[in-house]
Chain A
Amino acid sequence: MNYIKWELKGFFSNHKNLIIFALLLIASLYYALYIAPAYQPIESVNKEEVEARYEDRKEFLDNVEVRNGSHPLTIFAALVYPKWNELDGERLTALANGDLYSYAQATHEWYLYADENIKTDPYDVLRYNPRYYTYGNKHAKEDGHYNYLYSAERYSQYASANYELNLNIFEERTALQTLKRLLESGLPYILLLTCLLLSNDIVMKDRKHPSIVNGFPMTPFKRMMLKGLVALIGCLTSIAILLPAFLIIGFRDGFGTLDLPAVVYNFAFLNNGTYESISMGMFLSKYVVMLLLWFVLIISLVLLISILLKNEYFNLTIGIICFIEITYYQRRKILDDWLSYLPTSYVQIGDVISGYRNYALFTDSITTEKGFMVLFSTSILIILLIWLVIKKKKMTI
């Protein structure tokens, strides 16, 4: 379609869009070069730490003598430490031998065992990794629990992996894993706001050229849809711009493979859900689909507001939808089910797909499939509204 070509030309010669692309590129390169290398996962492969714990407990176990009058804590420790230390021992041996598959297997078991004991600890003396318990974290124990079982699932997949393992994979530093981590934190906000900024003048820019564009032999609805398509292509370009950063991380820390596990939490009553893995490829595909739905939703909102209110500033206010969720989704709050039918509940796409949202919010109402459905039907509804408005309204821009 030639109109598309024309709009694309306008889109990619638009100063604002070029600035956005440049900023995105700079920010992503900065991330790849400076921030990503400084990443310190809590669940790292830390030989010294394991060794220190192993030696400590070994000394205790070697000397302890459980009698009738022993302190309950001593009895408790003597009960849980042997198996624990055995696993730590296995991990150390595996690391020393460079056998990462057995390290993964031992670590998998270690996490399961540790979590089981910490969770059921009657004396409140065992703790998850201290880095969860920083000042002000009201959910330290929950965070630890989630991450231990998450790691347990992850390592069980590594243990039976048919790809080469390395420490970067264990510490989730490869390019794909870094991408996944970003997609589960701030990146969706950046992508959605970028989409809004890129598309927000797609209709309004025509206002300065009415005698050229109004006479085009094309129905206004079709024109709107083609504009939307161009904006969508533009938004996808913004993702392509992140590619150099991806490559930098990839060449430095390895790319990882699409077979890497992406852990998904299935909520069950009292958050005793199960942890399963889907492949990284699957995770990314789901992510792309949901992201595309979001793009379509935002772009169609821009189109609708543009023809209704004809003001660029109103389009910018669409950005608010990224942050509405914060007002009603809070941890430790009992949630109404209907909230999950709002599209705004699916802004944190990565957490929705991984099920972490359900874990954090203590609910089973936010699922990927529902997210697809809600976003899809909202988009359709908005597009229908556009169609109606255009039909009712005399359409000049």
Chain B
Amino acid sequence: MIQLNNIVVQFGEKKVLNGITKTLNPGEIIGLVAPNGTGKSTLLNVLMNYVIPNQGEVVFDNKFRYTNKKNEAHIRSLISMMPDQSDLYNHLTGMDHLHIYRQMWSQTSIDPNEVIERLNISHYVKNKTYQYSLGMRQRLCLAMQIVANTPYMLMDEVMNGLDPDNVELISKLLEEKKKEGKIIIIASHLLENLEKYADKIFLLKDGDFIYSRDYRETVLQEESYLKFSSRNNSKLVKELKGFIPELKYEELSNERVIMNMDQFSMDQFLKVQNHLNNSQVNLQIGVLDLLDRYSIYYNS
């Protein structure tokens, strides 16, 4: 269990994290979503103690805090961050990298060969890393962390540079790890994927979580929206306004127009549906998905 207690990080005048408080439980994959420069990496760095918060503390397993170097070393045996692919040692092989991670986290680590098989990297892992492509490096980095097998895992942009096959492969692996009771925190801006395997999603803005969602709970009273996107949204909206003058709508940065369902009478709804169908526009009815949320929050 990881508890974030009122974490404040300030760089000069700028508050990057502004009093974040959250409890993360074992067996969760947490998606941390935000555009660049909003404190996503800072939060991960606070968890690793690479950045020391101006206020607040992180508590692991109810008792461990970053109070001194000794505790730090102990906590780091529980938590690992996926290495950056540019940090690999060019003159060493992938296997060397896996071995050092296995040895450094000897209490929890698992057999590298298992991981190599699982991640399908056996055909290149014995080569020196300077020959690797981006995707190969990325999978090696993940493999290193999986080998370490710490209870808490932090991953920054884990799916970057991967083709769909590998995304699928890794999603499954993360799923398994979650079931083993690990806490996996994934910072990303690749939203579609995240929604598929994350249990919780936090959107970070202005130093705090402005939206959080637990996918294991179904939210009962969520508003439904009518959504469409087309090449010229504004023209369509204008036409719709022709027969519903008081139309409430919102155009998102992902080129989607959303309209709250509650505002329509049955008649109006049918008209709208009809009109859009005639204009050969694909329309959907449903709750707001992550992409919509993201567009709403980070629009300005």
Query: Which A positions have Cβ atoms within 8 angstroms of B?
Result: 2-3, 5-6, 9-10, 13, 15, 208-212, 214-222, 390-391, 394-396
CB-CB under 8 A from B75, the residues of chain A are: 217
A215 & B92 in contact (Cβ 8 Å cutoff) = no
* Known A2-B106, A9-B96; contact A221-B69, beta-carbon cutoff 8 A: yes
Is the C-beta of B50 less than 8 angstroms from some C-beta in chain A? yes
User: B78 contacts which chain A residues (CB < 8 A)?
Assistant: 217
Across the interface, do B87 and A390 meet the contact criterion of CB distance under 8 Å? no
Contact B73 A217 (CB under 8 A): yes
Selected from A10, A216, A220, the residue in CB contact (under 8 A) with B89 is A10
- Contact flags (1/0) for B139-158 with A, using CB distance below 8 Å? 00000100000000000000
Residue of chain A at shortest CB distance from B85: A211
Contact A215 B88 (CB under 8 A): no
Q: A5-B103, A209-B87, A394-B52 are in contact. Are A216 and B92 (CB under 8 A)?
A: no
B50 touches A217 (CB 8 A): no
Q: List 29 A-B contacts (CB under 8 A).
A: A2-B100, A3-B104, A13-B91, A15-B91, A209-B88, A210-B84, A210-B87, A211-B81, A211-B82, A211-B83, A212-B83, A212-B87, A212-B89, A212-B97, A214-B48, A214-B50, A215-B48, A215-B80, A215-B83, A217-B74, A217-B78, A217-B104, A217-B105, A218-B73, A219-B69, A219-B72, A219-B73, A222-B73, A390-B69
* Residue picked from B70, B76, B78, most chain A C-beta under 10 Å: B76
Cross-chain contact of B100 among A6, A13, A210, A219 (Cβ < 8 A): A6
Contacts of B80 in A (CB 8 A): 215
Residues of A within 8 A of B76 (CB): 215-218
A221 proximity list for chain B (CB < 8 A): 69
Please determine whether B104 and A2 come into contact, CB atoms closer than 8 angstroms: yes
CB-based contact B100/A208 at 8 Å = no
- B6 CB-CB contact with A under 8 Å: no
Which one, A6, A394, A395, contacts B103 given CB within 8 A?
Answer: A6
Residue contact B92 to A9, C-beta cutoff 8 Å: yes
Residues of A within 8 A of B87 (CB): 208-212
In this assembly, does B21 line the interface, its C-beta being within 8 Å of a C-beta of chain A? no
Task: Let me know if B171 is at the binding interface, CB within 8 A.
Answer: no
Q: B77 at the A/B interface (Cβ < 8 Å)?
A: yes
CB contacts (< 8 Å) of B81 on chain A: these are: 211, 215
Asked if A2 and B88 make an inter-chain contact with CB atoms under 8 angstroms apart, the answer reads: no
- CB closest residue in chain A, given B89: A209
B89 touches A396 (CB 8 A): no
Contact, CB under 8 Å: B103 / A2? yes
6 further contact pairs, Cβ within 8 A, besides A10-B92, A216-B104, A217-B104:
A2-B100, A2-B104, A13-B91, A209-B88, A211-B81, A217-B74
Closest to A387 in B: B69
Q: A210 — which chain B residues lie within 8 A by C-beta?
A: 84, 87
Closest A residue to B70 using CB positions: A219
- Minimum Cβ distance to chain B for residue A2 (Å): 3
Q: Which 9 residue pairs are nearest across A and B when measured between Cβ atoms?
A: A2-B103, A217-B77, A217-B76, A211-B84, A209-B87, A219-B69, A219-B73, A211-B83, A212-B83
Kindly report which residue of chain A lies nearest to residue B71, judged by CB atoms: A219
With both chains docked as a complex, state the minimum distance between the C-beta of A391 and any C-beta of chain B, in angstroms. Answer: 7
Q: A6: which B residues are within 8 A, CB to CB? A: 100, 103-104
B106: A residues at CB distance < 8 A: 2
A211 → chain B closest CB, angstroms: 4
Nearest-neighbour CB distance to chain A for B162, whole angstroms, equals 18
Residues of chain A with a CB closer than 8 A to B104's CB: 2-3, 6, 216-218
B-chain residues with CB within 8 Å of residue A211 when the two chains form the complex? 81-84, 87
How many angstroms between the C-alpha atoms of A6 and B80 in the bound complex? 18
Contact A3 B103 (CB under 8 A): yes
Question: Which residues of chain B come closer than 8 Å to A394, judged between CB atoms?
Answer: 52
* Those of B70-127 within 8 Å (CB) of chain A: 70, 72-84, 87-89, 91-92, 96-97, 100, 103-106
Q: In the complex, which residues of chain B have a beta carbon less than 8 angstroms from the beta carbon of A219?
A: 69-70, 72-73
B77 to chain A, nearest CB (A): 3
Docked complex Cα distance between A225 and B103 (Å): 18
